[in-house]
């Protein structure tokens, strides 16, 4: 475009008021590119009002309100438009309207899960407060089944959250396959345990977001948790604590958002049948220790809820009665989230899991009975200060689910119960 302007094919000053992006192919057609949504957002901040994009990218560019977006198919069409010979109408969308037309996956439901009442309860609490969750159980006990139904009870994204998610996915994949230009459902990412540091966290010579950022405002599910390389698991510590990932290169530093809910699943031992009533464990104490020690204490500290998922009994498996469906659970979760939204109004906190130490002092006041319970757990389980704070956050969520203003001893007791692996699983 610069060459054409220099040759006076069209007036050069036109490009001062109009930005043109796209990939030019050998036959003169204009091909789609990645990252159009964040580019369009940045252009608006710089007071650029007109944008010419490949036709395939028009949907994601048009969701940026206040920007005139013109789709073109070929370089010739673009030049003709800039010369004023061809008229192209700017493409516009009603962002609020298209955002309301979100697709929901109805192929799975929590009513499919047989038994597992304690695990179902733990999952509900985790989703209600945005807490990280670790499920431990034998193969076939239902850990993955529970995890894959989390999207059916998690609250819908707000438009602001959808824009954040869409920008990240635009950089990595592009959004030409999203007919409305926005990702409308929360991400649920489930990478294989052979994933590398770079693929998980992000990076490369030209830094790109990894799985933790692609899970932003959604769920990152890590099945077979100890099978991931320990160095890969350790890089999760920063995003779990800060909600973002910083990648440094010689050319500069890039920061990607990574505020996700971690859901991890693991067997209790290498063979998977430790403490299983049906099958005998074949692992030696050394093998069990080596297997569990892949998960470091600092990483476990950052996981709020640890729950045992026992094997399903035959009577439960064959029972014709259905458990609570996703819609019922989701109603309670949304109610708890609404309570949190009102509590944190005006603060950069969106759920209980995001609370800082300062917020804990303000919103998680407890009485002497609760203090006594916490002290006992602190001494008996040898929990860290970080784990102590996470117990309070989980207790706050349990109280919210019960629509109770104050945290009570029963809430603290249940939250402590979800830290039992601190001592028994990691040495």
CA pair distance 346, 364, nearest whole angstrom: 18
pLDDT of the residue at 233: 95
Q: Where is pLDDT greater, at 125 or 59?
A: 125
- Whether residue 424 has pLDDT greater than 60: no
CA pair distance 181, 202, nearest whole angstrom: 24
Locate all alpha helices (DSSP H) within 281-384, ordered by sequence: 285-292, 297-301, 314-318, 326-343, 357-363, 368-380
Most confident range (mean pLDDT) of 58-67, 96-105, 379-388, 401-410 is: 401-410
- Whether residue 427 has pLDDT greater than 50: no
Domain match, 37 and 182 both = no
- Whether residue 24 has pLDDT greater than 80: yes
For 232-270, give one letter per residue: b (16+ CB within 10 A) or e: bbebbeebbeeeebebeeeeeebebbbbbbbbbbbbbbb
Average pLDDT of the residues in 367-386: 88
pLDDT-derived band at 8, boundaries 50, 70, 90: confident
Task: Name the pairing type of β-strands 18-20 and 305-308.
Answer: unpaired
Q: For the domain that residue 25 is a member of, what is the CATH number?
A: 3.30.230.10
Average pLDDT of the residues in 90-103: 75
pLDDT-derived band at 332, boundaries 50, 70, 90: very high
pLDDT of the residue at 1: 83
- Write down the mean pLDDT value for the chain: 90
Per the structure, the complete domain to which residue 258 belongs is given by 110-343
Most confident range (mean pLDDT) of 13-17, 124-128, 273-277, 295-299 is: 124-128
CA pair distance 423, 412, nearest whole angstrom: 18
Which of 291, 323, 343 is the last residue in one of the domains?
343
Residue 369 within a domain:
no
- Whether residue 396 has pLDDT greater than 60: yes
Residue 385 within a domain:
no
CB half-sphere exposure, 332, CA atoms < 13 A: 19
pLDDT-derived band at 6, boundaries 50, 70, 90: confident
Average pLDDT of the residues in 392-405: 97
Domain match, 184 and 285 both = yes
- Whether residue 181 has pLDDT greater than 90: no
DSSP assignments along 250-297, one per residue: TTEEEEEE---EEEEEE-SSSSS-TT-SSS-----HHHHHHHHTTS-H
Residue 410 within a domain:
no
SS3 358: helix
Q: Is 393 in contact with 131 (CB distance < 8 Å)?
A: yes
Residue 380 within a domain:
no
pTM of the predicted model as reported, rounded to 2 decimal places: 0.90
Residue 35 within a domain:
yes
Q: What is the DSSP letter of 336?
A: H
pLDDT of the residue at 93: 83
Residue 403 within a domain:
no
209-231 per-position pLDDT tens digit: 999 999 999 999 999 999 999 99
Which of 343, 376, 403 is the last residue in one of the domains?
343
CA pair distance 209, 181, nearest whole angstrom: 19
Average pLDDT of the residues in 92-97: 80
Residue 306 within a domain:
yes
From its phi and psi, is residue 312 left (phi > 0), alpha (psi between -120 and 50) or beta? beta
pLDDT-derived band at 10, boundaries 50, 70, 90: confident
CA pair distance 207, 210, nearest whole angstrom: 9
pLDDT-derived band at 161, boundaries 50, 70, 90: very high
- Whether residue 159 has pLDDT greater than 60: yes
The single residue listed with the structure tokens 């309070």 is 392
Domain match, 205 and 160 both = yes
Domain match, 115 and 83 both = no
pLDDT of the residue at 426: 45
Task: Give the chain's domain count.
Answer: 2
Q: What is the DSSP letter of 141?
A: S
Domain match, 139 and 84 both = no
pLDDT of the residue at 47: 86
CA pair distance 388, 4, nearest whole angstrom: 65
CA pair distance 245, 254, nearest whole angstrom: 8
Name the nearest CA neighbour of 53 among 240, 181, 213.
Answer: 181
pLDDT of the residue at 179: 66
Domain match, 85 and 130 both = no
């Amino acid at each position: 475009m610069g060459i054409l302007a220099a040759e006076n094919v069209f007036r050069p000053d036109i490009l001062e008021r109009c930005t043109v992006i796209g990939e030019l192919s050998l036959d003169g057609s204009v091909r789609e590119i990645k990252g159009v949504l964040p580019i369009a957002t940045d252009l608006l901040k710089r007071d650029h009002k007109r944008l010419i994009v490949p036709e395939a990218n028009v949907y994601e560019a048009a969701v940026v309100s206040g920007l005139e977006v013109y789709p073109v198919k070929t370089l010739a069409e673009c030049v003709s438009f800039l010369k004023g010979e061809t008229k192209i109408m700017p493409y516009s969308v009603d962002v609020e309207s298209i955002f309301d037309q979100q697709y929901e996956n109805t192929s799975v439901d929590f009513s499919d899960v047989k038994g597992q009442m304690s695990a179902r309860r733990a999952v509900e609490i985790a989703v209600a407060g945005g807490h990280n969750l670790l499920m431990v159980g034998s193969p076939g006990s239902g850990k993955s089944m529970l995890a894959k139904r989390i999207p059916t009870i998690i609250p819908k994204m707000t438009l602001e959250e959808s824009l954040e998610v869409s920008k990240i996915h635009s950089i990595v994949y592009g959004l030409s396959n999203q007919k409305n230009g926005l990702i409308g459902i929360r991400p649920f990412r489930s990478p294989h345990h052979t994933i590398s540091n770079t693929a998980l966290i992000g990076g490369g010579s030209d830094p790109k977001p990894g799985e933790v950022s692609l899970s932003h405002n959604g769920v990152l599910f890590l099945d077979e948790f100890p099978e991931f390389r320990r160095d890969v698991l350790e890089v999760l510590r920063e995003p779990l604590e800060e909600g973002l990932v910083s990648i440094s290169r010689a050319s500069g530093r890039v920061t990607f958002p990574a505020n996700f809910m971690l859901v991890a699943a693991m067997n209790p031992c290498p063979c998977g049948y430790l403490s299983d009533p049906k099958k005998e464990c074949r692992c030696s104490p050394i093998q069990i220790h080596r297997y569990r020690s892949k998960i470091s204490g600092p990483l476990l500290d950052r996981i709020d809820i640890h729950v045992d998922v026992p094997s399903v009994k035959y009577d439960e498996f064959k029972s014709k009665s259905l458990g609570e469906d996703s819609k019922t659970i989701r109603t309670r979760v949304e109610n708890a989230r609404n309570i949190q939204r009102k509590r944190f109004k005006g603060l950069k906190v969106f759920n209980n899991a995001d609370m800082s130490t300062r917020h804990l002092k303000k919103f998680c006041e407890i009485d002497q009975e609760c203090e006594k319970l916490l002290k006992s757990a602190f001494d008996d389980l040898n929990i860290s200060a970080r784990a102590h704070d996470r117990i309070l956050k989980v207790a706050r969520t349990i109280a919210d689910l019960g629509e109770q203003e104050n945290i009570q001893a029963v809430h603290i007791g249940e939250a402590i119960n979800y830290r039992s692996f601190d001592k028994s699983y990691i040495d």
